[in-house]
Structure 1
Amino acid sequence: MSQLLLVEDDAVLAEALSGALRGLGHSVTVAGSGERALTALFEEGAAADLVLLDVMLPGIDGFEVCRRIRARGSVPVILLTARGDPIDVVAGLEGGADDYVVKPAEPRVLDARVKTVLRRATLAQPADSAQRVFTLGELSVDRAAMVVTNNGSEVHLTPTELRLLLEFVDHFGQVLSRQALLRRVWDYGYTGDSRLVDAAVARLRAKIEPDPANPVLLRTARGIGYRLAKP
């Protein structure tokens, strides 16, 4: 059973959505504001495998809550946005969200998204032990220990960022299209949102590139996707 923290200020909607998710097998705690969610997570130690976060909140909005969650941990975040507004979506993804769902969210769709995001935390171990540690310049990926280091310091990645990096490691030197990455990392088909990929790549570059504005490891194949290559 997954532990979900639902951050929603509309009490009627929160009750309906939490009840539906409980009926689908999840344990749900509700926070009515961003401040309450942050207190529950970081001061009260509330258990949460994933945060369902409304964008439009009184006080601290969902974007800021997401940034604060990401600054202090790797718990997955799915944004609940009232509109599919590109600005809202991109701002949320750049702030560290793993995915987004447009409200009103159909419970079974949301359940599927939750399960997909949580699956990213369970990564298959390679059969060949020789493949377990990958080194590229100052970047090291120990797949057995699920530890990434850069310049000797551990790099803290979210499950989505880690799975994305492992896809590039497993296909080193190959160009991976955005749609291929959506299938392999997000478990999405043709209709997946390529902005998920672009935002996750930008966050990954910020953590592994010497100069994220001029990437030398994770390179863009214009009009296609990305590839991991020697600097």
Structure 2
Amino acid sequence: MKNILIVDDHLQITEVLKEYVLKEGFNPIIADNGQAALDAFSSHAIELILLDVMLPKIDGFGVCKTIRATSNVPIIMITAKGEDYHRIMGLDIGADDYIVKPFSQSEVMARIRAILRRIERTEENQHTMDHLTYDNLTVYLEEKKVAIATQEIILTKRELELLWLLLANPEKVFSRDNLLDSLWGIDYFGDARTVDTHIKRLRAKLDEFSHPNWKIATV
């Protein structure tokens, strides 16, 4: 049974999310503050994290940054309605997705299923192709590494998958909806700005190193 880590300091919310997760056949692990979340992550094999932003001891951003330093585990941030800067910041520091309060059971579970399906597809693809190369860029899918020439670049799991998709389809033009469907899943409920944020962050990381013969272009 896959472990889902639920991090929120409001008991009512954790109880609701716990019920959702149990109904879908997952095992919920609860943490009510940032430090407890990090402790739980270190103690259990976690498949996905539902992470509130406003937490005691260590906030959700701090938890996300700490986990991203060592792991690409999927993280879905939970933000309050209207707090766009929270959603943007969460994506910038490596969150895979976000859910806005108040949320519905169908939305939460659709997001979880979409991310876990994407991971399963990626793992299946590893058996047929483990790396792609274009000019001085190489993406190692199984090892989750990206290099320009001899310089390794640290990407989040979503950034790596986005780069892999673009590299596997050179010269193809993807719409935002294409990318959302391919990487976030057709049942994704968020808006297309998520794609823009990930592309911007991916470009910034790649542009730290010289690559005069290729680029990620916007048409």
Q: Assess same fold via TM > 0.5.
A: yes
Task: State how 1:101-140 maps to structure 2 within 5 Å.
Answer: 101-122=99-120, 123=122, 124-125=124-125, 133-140=131-138
SS in 2 for 1:121: helix
> Closer, same or farther in 2 for the Cα pair 1:144/1:24, shift >3 Å?
closer
The match for 1:208 is: 206
The one-letter code matched in structure 2 to 1:34 is G
The match for 2:3 is: 3
SS in 2 for 1:161: helix
Q: Indicate if the aligned counterparts of 1:125 and 1:144 stay in contact, CA closer than 8 A.
A: no
TM-score normalised to structure 2 length: 0.84
SS in 2 for 1:202: helix
The one-letter code matched in structure 2 to 1:6 is I
TM-score normalised to structure 1 length: 0.80
SS in 1 for 2:44: coil
The one-letter code matched in structure 2 to 1:177 is S
Instruction: Give the Cα separation in 2 of the matches to 1:82 and 1:22.
Output: 24
Identity among equivalent pairs (%): 37
The correspondence for 2:167, drawn from 166, 169, 189, is 169
SS in 1 for 2:9: coil
Q: Indicate if the aligned counterparts of 2:118 and 2:185 stay in contact, CA closer than 8 A.
A: no
Q: CA RMSD in A?
A: 2.9
The match for 1:94 is: 92
Q: Show structure 1 runs of 5+ residues with no match.
A: 222-231
Larger helix proportion, structure 1 or 2? 2
The match for 2:12 is: 12
SS in 2 for 1:75: coil
Instruction: Give the Cα separation in 2 of the matches to 1:60 and 1:184.
Output: 33
The match for 1:85 is: 83
SS in 2 for 1:220: coil
Instruction: Give the Cα separation in 1 of the matches to 2:188 and 2:170.
Output: 24
Q: How much does 1:49 deviate?
A: 0.6
Q: Show structure 2 runs of 5+ residues with no match.
A: none
Q: How much does 1:155 deviate?
A: 4.4
